[in-house]
């Protein structure tokens, strides 16, 4: 069996520019409202009043680029009534549009919001890790587009060897739920999914 493929994102390098999101939307020709890759801006902390002056004490913000995690335990695949969702040998989780009935059960289940309904096709769609490019030995569009070179892609064990195993930045959910095939490099202010006391910002962009 081929090795499970995975995405890598360096939160320290990411500026939240959303080039990955746009590259994905462009390459996959996604309609309005469907974004297979999204960049979430997370912030928290507070200002303190010091002698009448507001001083930022623990204020933080960072961006988390997220798409389908091509999980080891894909909850979307378990709940799908039609078996339209499958996992390739190399771990890429795919939706077969011909089999999908558009019941949206997968979107209720996936904690990453990966499966999204396409109003033009009337079926669920999601990140396919640019499987055609991957099959040609190339890398997914989002990874290639990052101007900060904050993203990488490859077999999960190699990615983990290079970058560690952290997969738990807030606002992402606890990785124990679906065992996502992803690695993030945290920066000094990155909170974990359990200790996250912040909130998502700029919701109108999501």
Partner 1 sequence: MDTREWALLAFTILGQTAAGLMIVLMIVRAYLARAGGDLADRLTNRPLFLVVPLMALALLASLFHLGSPLNIARAVPNIGYSWLSREVVIAVAFVIFAALYTYLQWRKVGSESLRTAIGWITALLALAYIYAMGMVYMIATQPAWNTLATPVTFIVGSLLIGSLGMAAALVMGHAGLKKTETPIVNNVLQGLAISAIVLLGIEFVVLPLYLAYLATQGGAALQSLNMMIGLYGFVFFLRLLTLFVGAGVLAAYLYRNAAVADKEQTLATLAYSAFALALIGEAMGRFIFYATHYRIGL
Taking CB under 8 A as the binding criterion, the range among 20-28, 97-105, 127-135, 137-145 that sits at the site for partner 1 is: 97-105
Distances in whole angstroms, Cα of residue 134 to Cα of each of 54, 89, 131: 51, 13, 5
**78 lines the binding site for partner 1 (CB under 8 A):** yes
- In DSSP terms, 54 is beta-bridged to 49
Count of residues engaged in binding partner 1, rule: CB under 8 A: 35
Among 99, 148, 165, 202, binds partner 1 (CB under 8 A): 99
**14 lines the binding site for partner 1 (CB under 8 A):** no
Q: How far is the CB of 102 from partner 1 (least distance, A)?
A: 2
Smallest Cα–Cα separation from 81: which of 109, 95, 100?
A: 100
Taking CB under 8 A as the binding criterion, the range among 55-63, 119-127, 129-137, 148-156 that sits at the site for partner 1 is: 119-127
**202 lines the binding site for partner 1 (CB under 8 A):** no
**75 lines the binding site for partner 1 (CB under 8 A):** yes
Output the six-digit token pair for 116: 């999204």
Site for partner 1 in 19-58 (CB under 8 A): 38, 40
Q: How far is the CB of 106 from partner 1 (least distance, A)?
A: 10
Among 12, 60, 87, 105, binds partner 1 (CB under 8 A): 105
Place of tokens 């799908």: 80
Taking CB under 8 A as the binding criterion, the range among 21-29, 70-78, 130-138, 145-153 that sits at the site for partner 1 is: 70-78
Site for partner 1 in 145-174 (CB under 8 A): 171-174
How many angstroms separate the CA atoms of 10 and 166, rounded?
A: 11
What's the distance, Cα to Cα, between the start and end of the chain in Å? 36
Contact between 72 and 111 under an 8 Å Cβ cutoff? The reply is: no
Distances in whole angstroms, Cα of residue 93 to Cα of each of 74, 101, 163: 8, 17, 23
Q: What residues make contact with partner 1 under the rule CB under 8 A?
A: 38, 40, 66, 75, 77-84, 99-105, 108-113, 117, 121-124, 171-174, 177
């Amino acid at each position: 069996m081929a090795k499970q493929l995975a995405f890598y994102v360096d939160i320290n390098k990411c500026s939240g520019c959303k080039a990955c999101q746009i590259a994905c939307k462009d390459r996959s020709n996604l309609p309005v409202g469907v974004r297979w890759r999204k960049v979430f801006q997370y912030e928290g902390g507070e200002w303190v009043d010091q002698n009448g002056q507001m001083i930022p004490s623990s204020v933080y913000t960072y961006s988390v680029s997220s798409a389908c995690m091509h999980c080891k335990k894909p909850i979307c695949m378990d709940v799908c009534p039609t078996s339209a969702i499958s996992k390739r040998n190399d771990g890429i989780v795919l939706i077969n549009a011909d089999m999908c009935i558009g019941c949206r059960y997968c979107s209720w289940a996936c904690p990453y919001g990966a499966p999204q309904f396409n109003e033009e096709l009337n079926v669920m769609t999601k990140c396919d890790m640019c499987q055609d490019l991957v099959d040609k030995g190339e890398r997914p569009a989002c990874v290639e587009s990052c101007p900060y070179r904050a993203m990488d892609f490859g077999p999960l064990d190699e990615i983990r060897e290079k970058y560690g195993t952290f997969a738990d930045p807030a606002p992402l959910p606890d990785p124990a739920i679906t065992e996502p095939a992803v690695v993030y490099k945290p920066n000094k202010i990155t909170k974990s999914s359990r200790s996250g006391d912040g909130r998502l910002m700029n919701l109108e962009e999501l």
